[in-house]
């Protein structure tokens, strides 16, 4: 099938783009004589990173755990909350504003409190990742659940099925494309979430390492750490996208209708 080949081709372009960016960066640092503590050359970042791989890997492992658990929690709780908000008027009027408020309160400011309340363990980190990333899921899911065509809802209701079944068979599949935009935004946020949690409430992990490196003005290692956490975030994002591809093969945005919009190459 062409799909596999297309994915490979896609990835070639992506790789090329990133390679180009790194090349320009390397060259610019060289040409402009930028000091390494301001912006290290990518080559230096790489060398340093490989040189201290064990430390970095340790940190990455420590960070991965709260990031993944927090994200999964965000997906589960986010969808659940969205359900309550979308289908119950009283929840919409009481719970939703609280959720919005929860989202808006800068978690980074309250993070230290978490540490005091929950100690230095996994819990405060998971909670922070969760709090930082659940909201996009709620918002997109609420919007998705509430915008199913009335025609389709009528068709479903006419079968005499209860709201539960209507949800599973109609609203959920219909909502998936929008839902996944929320999942993706959240996935992208969860790396930041884990890092922030470790800045303020942890004694291990990449965020923790990063604080140390920047404190010592070890910019190459700081960049290496940022690179690794970003790659972890990207991996999660890519995984969510892969699931999306499998879960919604039918969506309009994936149909390869023959001509694109007129005027587009």
Partner 1 sequence: MSISLRNVGKTYRRGGMATHALDRVDLDIAEGEFVAIVGPSGCGKSTLLRLLSGLLPASTGEILVNGAPVTKPSGEMGIVFQAPVLLDWRSVRDNLLFQVEMRGLKKADYTARADDLLRRVGLAEFADRYPYELSGGMRQRCAIARSLIHDPVMLIMDEPFGALDALTREQMRLDLEALWMATRKTVLFITHSIDEAVLLSDRVVVMSPRPGRIERIIPVAMPRPRGLEGRKSPEFMRISDEITDIFLSRGVLTAGVGAGP
Partner 2 sequence: QDKVTFRLNWIAYGFHTPFYLGVERGYYKDEGIDLTIGEGQGSVRAVQTVGAKGDTFGLADGGSVVAGVTKGAPVRAVMAVTNSSPYALSARADSGIKTLKDFEGKTVASAPGEAGLQLLPALFARNGVDAAKVKVLRVEGAGKMVAVAEKKAEGLMAGLDNQSITLPRQGVPLVDFGYAANGVNTVGLTIVANEETLKANPDLVRRFVKATVRSFQAAVKEPEASIKAGQKVKADMEADLAMAQLKAGIGLMTSEASKSLPMGQFALKDWQDTVDLMKQYQDLQTDKAADAFFTNEFAAKSGS
Tell me how many helices (H) and strands (E) the chain has: 12, 0
Part of the chain binding a copy of itself (CB under 8 A), chosen from 23-31, 42-50, 70-78, 177-185: 177-185
Number of residues that bind a copy of itself (CB under 8 A): 81
Backbone torsions φ then ψ of 216, nearest 5 degrees: -90, 10
Distance, in Å, from the CA atom of 134 to the CA atom of 98, rounded to the nearest integer, reads: 13
Q: Work out whether 119 is an interface residue with partner 2 (CB under 8 A).
A: yes
For residues 57 and 62, what is the distance between their CA atoms, to the nearest angstrom?
Answer: 9
- Using the rule CB under 8 A, which residue among 52, 125, 174, 184 binds partner 2? 52
Residue placing its CB nearer to partner 2 in the complex, 54 or 160: 54
By CB under 8 A, the residues from 95 to 124 that bind a copy of itself are: 95, 97-98, 100-101, 103-110, 112-113, 116-117
How far, CA to CA in Å, does 135 sit from each of 7, 67, 175, 261?
31, 15, 16, 33
- 18 vs 250 by CB, closer to partner 1: 250
Residue among 215 and 260 whose Cβ is closer to partner 1: 260
CB of 137 to partner 1, least distance (A): 20
Angstrom distance (rounded) from CA 84 to CA 176: 17
- In sequence order, what are the residues at sequence separation of 6 or more whose Cβ sits closer than 8 angstroms to the Cβ of residue 193? 67, 70, 128, 129, 130, 131, 132, 133
Q: Is 215 in the site for partner 2 (CB under 8 A)?
A: yes
CB of 210 closer than 8 Å to CB of 225: yes
Scan for tokens 């999306």, then name that residue.
Answer: 244
233 binds partner 2 (CB under 8 A): no
Count of residues in the chain: 265
Residues near partner 1 (CB under 8 A): 1, 149-152, 154-161, 165-166, 169-170, 173-174, 176, 248, 250-252, 255-256, 258-259, 262
For partner 1, the closer CB: 161 or 188 = 161
Residues of the shown chain interacting with partner 2 in the complex, contacts defined by CB under 8 A: 35-38, 52, 54-55, 111-113, 115-116, 119-120, 198-204, 207-208, 211-219, 221-222
């Amino acid at each position: 099938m062409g799909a596999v080949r297309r994915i490979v081709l896609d990835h070639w372009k992506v790789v090329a783009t990133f390679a180009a960016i790194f090349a320009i960066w390397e060259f610019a640092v060289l040409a402009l004589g930028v000091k390494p503590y301001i912006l290290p050359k990518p080559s230096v970042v790489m060398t340093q990173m490989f040189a201290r791989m064990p430390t970095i890997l340790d940190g990455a492992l420590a960070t991965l755990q709260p990031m993944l658990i927090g994200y999964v929690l965000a997906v589960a709780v986010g969808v659940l909350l969205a359900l309550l908000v979308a289908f119950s008027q009283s929840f919409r009027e009481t719970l939703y504003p609280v959720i919005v408020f929860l989202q808006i309160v800068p978690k980074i400011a309250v993070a230290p409190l978490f540490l005091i309340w929950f100690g230095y363990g996994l819990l405060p980190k998971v909670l922070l990742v969760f709090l930082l990333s659940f909201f996009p899921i709620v918002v997109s899911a609420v919007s998705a659940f509430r915008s199913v065509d009335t025609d389709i809802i009528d068709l479903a209701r006419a079968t005499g099925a209860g709201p539960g079944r209507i949800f599973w068979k109609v609203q959920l599949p219909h909502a998936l494309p929008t839902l996944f935009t929320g999942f993706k935004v959240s996935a992208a946020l969860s790396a930041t979430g884990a890092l922030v949690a470790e800045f303020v409430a942890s004694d291990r992990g990449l965020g923790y390492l990063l604080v140390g490196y920047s404190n010592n003005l070890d910019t190459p290692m700081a960049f290496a750490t940022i690179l690794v956490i970003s790659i972890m975030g990207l991996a999660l994002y890519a995984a969510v996208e892969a699931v999306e591809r499998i879960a919604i093969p039918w969506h309009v945005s994936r149909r390869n209708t023959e001509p694109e919009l007129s005027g587009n190459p």
